[in-house]
Amino acid sequence: FFLAGVLGMASFGIAANTSWSFFLDRDNGIFYEMLTYPVSRAEYLVGKVLFNIGVALAQTAVTLVLAAGLLGVPVRWDLAPLTAAAMIVGTAGWFFFYAIFALLIRRNDVFNTVTSIFYFVFLFASSMFYPLEPLPPVFRAVSYANPITWQVDILRYSTTGLGDPAMLPLEAVGFMLFTAASFGAALLVIRQQS
Which pLDDT value is given to residue 109? Answer: 85
* Total-model pTM: 0.90
The residue among 86, 87, 49, 13 whose CA lies nearest residue 190 is: 49
CB of 131 within 8 A of CB of 140?
Answer: no
Distance CA 125, CA 17 (A): 20
Banded model confidence at residue 75, pLDDT cuts 50, 70, 90? very high
For residue 140, is pLDDT > 80?
yes
The Cα-based distances of 135 to 122, 156, 167, 181 in angstroms read 16, 19, 18, 29
For residue 57, is pLDDT > 90?
yes
For residue 7, is pLDDT > 80?
yes
Q: Please provide the DSSP assignment of 108-131 as one string.
A: HHHHHHHHHHHHHHHHHTSSSSS-
Distance CA 115, CA 17 (A): 9
Angle formed at CA 118 by CA 25 and CA 179, multiple of 5 degrees: 70
For residue 194, is pLDDT > 70?
no
Question: Which DSSP category does 133 fall into?
Answer: T
Phi/psi for 102 (5° steps) reads -65, -35
Instruction: Please tell me which residue, 140 or 83, carries the higher pLDDT value.
Output: 83
Question: Which DSSP category does 79 fall into?
Answer: G
For residue 129, is pLDDT > 90?
no
